[in-house]
């Protein structure tokens, strides 16, 4: 029995050291954004879908990794094997450089439920009255406080609405106000010709209302916030033809427009890290 206990204890310590290494790698991935080259539009998507890590764990991992950039003691606490990722996620909203020792010590000693109560005691969140703000003659903006569950519900409803709009768009009458995709106007060019609706419909049908970015045999799965991209830029003679147009999500659209600058930056970052003796 004692031998089994010892093995489990040692394994847990080793497991947490691996969590510490994963935090370090996540920080690097967040900084270099290399996942864009692999066809993923966000770090969350890369870790969740690409690596098969559960959404809850990915959320904990990214939150702690980003906070640990400011407070390295958080990663050191995990490396020591005395505290896990989930607990540090709970204190990430209140931990600072000044109180880090206090919260890390609490994370080591308290249960998750006790830790949540301690965080709630010092949380700076204060409810406020909802309010309406006029945007223009026809629209108002409603600002409300809400819970995570309500936010998730609203996002699912919005995603469903976008999906339905994208499916209907190809057979709808030409109506600029109802399109689910944005035409590529370029960073500064407002003089280009509008893409004819029949051409736009053919592109959407061909790409099945989904981002068409592919790399290493993987295609981006995003169906929301889509843009129409000119493969050969208009400034270089690119035309509004089905063959020269592609459906892209916002992230990959930006990536393709600025790929050379991004690749140069990534190459510079890797070189600097190698010079510092860090494996990139």
> Does residue 279 lie within any of the structural domains?
no
Side-chain-facing half-sphere of 202: CA atoms under 13 Å? 11
Cβ atoms of residues 152 and 146 within 8 Å:
no
Q: Would residue 96 be called left, alpha or beta, if left means φ above 0 and alpha means ψ between -120 and 50 degrees?
A: beta
Residues 6+ apart with CB under 8 A from 240: 193, 195, 196, 199, 230
The chain-wide mean pLDDT, for the chain, equals 79
Which pLDDT band, with edges at 50, 70 and 90, does 202 fall under?
A: very high
Residues paired with 229 in a beta bridge: 246
What sign does the dihedral 128-131-133-139 (CA atoms) show? Answer: positive
Q: Are residues 111 and 170 in the same domain?
A: no
> Does residue 266 lie within any of the structural domains?
no
Residue 29 belongs to what domain range?
A: 2-122
- pTM higher than 0.85 for the full model? no
Q: Are residues 179 and 79 in the same domain?
A: no
Q: How far is CA 97 from CA 60, 72, 93, 102, in A?
A: 20, 9, 12, 10
> Does residue 60 lie within any of the structural domains?
yes
Which pLDDT band, with edges at 50, 70 and 90, does 206 fall under?
A: very high
Span 67-82, pLDDT tens digits: 999 999 999 998 888 8
Helix axes 259-275, 250-257, angle to 10 degrees: 80
> Does residue 243 lie within any of the structural domains?
yes
Which pLDDT band, with edges at 50, 70 and 90, does 187 fall under?
A: very low
Q: Are residues 24 and 113 in the same domain?
A: yes
> Does residue 22 lie within any of the structural domains?
yes
Q: Are residues 171 and 103 in the same domain?
A: no
pLDDT of residue 216: 79
Domain count, the chain: 2
Q: Are residues 222 and 166 in the same domain?
A: yes
Q: Which of 122, 153, 171 is the last residue of a domain?
A: 122
Which pLDDT band, with edges at 50, 70 and 90, does 5 fall under?
A: confident
Of the listed ranges 116-120, 137-141, 168-172, 243-247, the one predicted with least confidence: 168-172
pLDDT of residue 69: 92
Burial class (CB in 10 A: 0-12, 13-18, 19+), 104: buried
Tokens of 7: 């093995």
Of the listed ranges 86-90, 166-170, 237-241, the one predicted with least confidence: 166-170
Higher pLDDT, 141 or 196: 196
Q: Are residues 179 and 252 in the same domain?
A: yes
Q: Are residues 254 and 166 in the same domain?
A: yes
Q: Are residues 86 and 26 in the same domain?
A: yes
Q: Are residues 118 and 171 in the same domain?
A: no
> Does residue 277 lie within any of the structural domains?
no
Residue whose entry in the numeric block shows the structure tokens 């309010």: 131
Q: Are residues 189 and 238 in the same domain?
A: yes
Q: Are residues 115 and 183 in the same domain?
A: no
> Does residue 273 lie within any of the structural domains?
no
Q: Are residues 191 and 118 in the same domain?
A: no
Span 133-172, pLDDT tens digits: 665 666 666 666 666 666 777 777 776 655 544 444 443 4
Higher pLDDT, 276 or 46: 46
pLDDT of residue 176: 38
> Does residue 127 lie within any of the structural domains?
no
């Amino acid at each position: 029995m004692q031998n089994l206990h010892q093995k489990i204890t040692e394994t847990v310590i080793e497991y947490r050291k691996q969590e510490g290494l994963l935090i370090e790698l996540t920080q690097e991935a967040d900084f270099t954004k290399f996942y864009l080259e692999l066809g993923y539009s966000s770090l969350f998507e890369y870790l969740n879908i690409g690596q098969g890590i559960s959404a809850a764990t990915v959320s904990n991992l990214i939150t702690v990794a980003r906070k640990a950039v400011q407070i390295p003691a958080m990663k050191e606490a995990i490396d020591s094997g005395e505290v896990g990722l989930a607990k540090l996620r709970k204190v990430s909203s209140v931990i600072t450089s000044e109180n880090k020792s206090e919260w890390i010590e609490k994370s080591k000693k308290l249960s998750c439920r006790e830790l949540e109560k301690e965080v709630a005691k010092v949380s700076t969140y204060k409810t406020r009255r909802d309010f309406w703000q006029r945007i223009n003659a026809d629209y108002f903006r409603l600002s409300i406080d809400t819970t995570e569950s309500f936010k998730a519900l609203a996002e699912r409803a919005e995603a469903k609405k976008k999906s339905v709009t994208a499916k209907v768009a190809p057979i709808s009458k030409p109506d600029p106000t109802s399109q689910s995709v944005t035409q590529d106007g370029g960073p500064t060019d407002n003089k280009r010709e509008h893409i004819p609706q029949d051409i736009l419909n053919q592109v959407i049908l061909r790409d099945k209302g989904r981002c068409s970015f592919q790399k290493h045999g993987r295609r981006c799965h995003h169906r929301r916030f889509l843009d129409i991209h000119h493969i050969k830029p208009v400034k270089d003679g690119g035309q509004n033809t089905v063959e020269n147009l592609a459906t892209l999500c916002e992230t990959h659209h930006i990536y393709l427009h600025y790929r050379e600058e991004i690749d140069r930056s990534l190459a510079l970052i890797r070189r600097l890290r190698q010079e510092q003796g860090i494996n990139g």
